[in-house]
Amino acid sequence: MGINTYEVMYIQARDNYPYNVEECIEKLQYVIAADDEHTGAHYLMGCIYNEQLEDHKQAEFHYRMVLYLDNTYMPVYYKYAEMLLNLGRDEECQNIIDAGFKVPGIDEAKLLWLQGVLYEKESKYKKAIKTYKAAKLKCLNNRFMDDMDDHIKRVKDKRELVKPPKKKKPGKKKSKK
């Protein structure tokens, strides 16, 4: 059995994203019309609605559809959680991250990064640093590790900004002679 036409259209849509969004959407609409359970097409359509059109309701529809069709489709956990994080829907974001950790083979470093950002956003700086360090332990490339170092530095800087000033200890006054 060969690759059917809508799979070819899906591959073409992926190749066009994000450089030729119009053609990408056209091909994805064809794919979804032919197979409304095509996980990859729904995922990519969610990305377009989220990143290009900023229509988060439609993006969420497609991301949820992906999870309904195939809850082991790893890329959706990263993008959906990131969208929820950006929208301030922290509890829902946490639920997606938690569900993602149950998917065999998922990039735990990416999920830990998102978890760290969530903690940082909530001003839980100690937890954020700990989570970013855990992400470093799970990552498999130097660029990601450098990014985690940058996140850790930023959180430490924030922590210093909110730290209460040190109180001066009452001590002996210098006497003039």
Read off the pLDDT of each residue in 64-70 and give the average, rounded to a whole number.
Answer: 98
The answer, yes or no, to whether residue 175 has pLDDT greater than 80, is no
> What digits encode the pLDDT tens for the residues 9-38?
999 999 999 999 999 999 999 999 999 999
Give the length of the chain: 177
CB–CB of 82/99 below 8 Å?
A: no
| DSSP code per residue over 20-41 | -HHHHHHHHHHHHHH-TT-HHH
Distance between alpha carbon 174 and the CA centroid of its chain, in Å? 57
Instruction: Give the span between the Cα atoms of 103 and 80, in whole angstroms.
Output: 15
* Average pLDDT of every residue of the chain: 94
Query: Which amino acid does the sequence have at 39?
Result: T
Question: Taking 70 as the threshold, does the pLDDT of residue 172 lie above it?
Answer: no
CATH superfamily of the domain spanning 1-106: Tetratricopeptide repeat domain (1.25.40.10)
The two three-digit tokens of residue 71, written as one number: 């809850």
Distance CA 79, CA 106 (A): 13
Rounded CA separation 3/9 (Å) = 10
Place of tokens 């909530």: 122
pLDDT score recorded for residue 53: 95
pLDDT of residue 177: 55
Give 2's pLDDT tier (boundaries 50, 70, 90): confident
**Residue 167: pLDDT band by 50, 70, 90 thresholds?**
confident
Structure-block tokens of residue 139: 């990552």
The Cβ-side half-sphere exposure at 153, using a 13 Å CA radius, reads 6
* Rg (alpha carbons) of the chain, rounded to whole number: 23
State residue 1's pLDDT score. 63
CA separation, residue 56 to residues 23, 52, 106, 134, 151 (Å): 21, 10, 24, 30, 26
What residue ranges of the chain are covered by domains with CATH 1.25.40.10? Answer: 1-106
Q: What are the tens digits of pLDDT across the range 103-159?
A: 999 999 999 999 999 999 999 999 999 999 999 999 999 999 999 999 999 999 999
**What is the per-residue pLDDT for 13?**
96
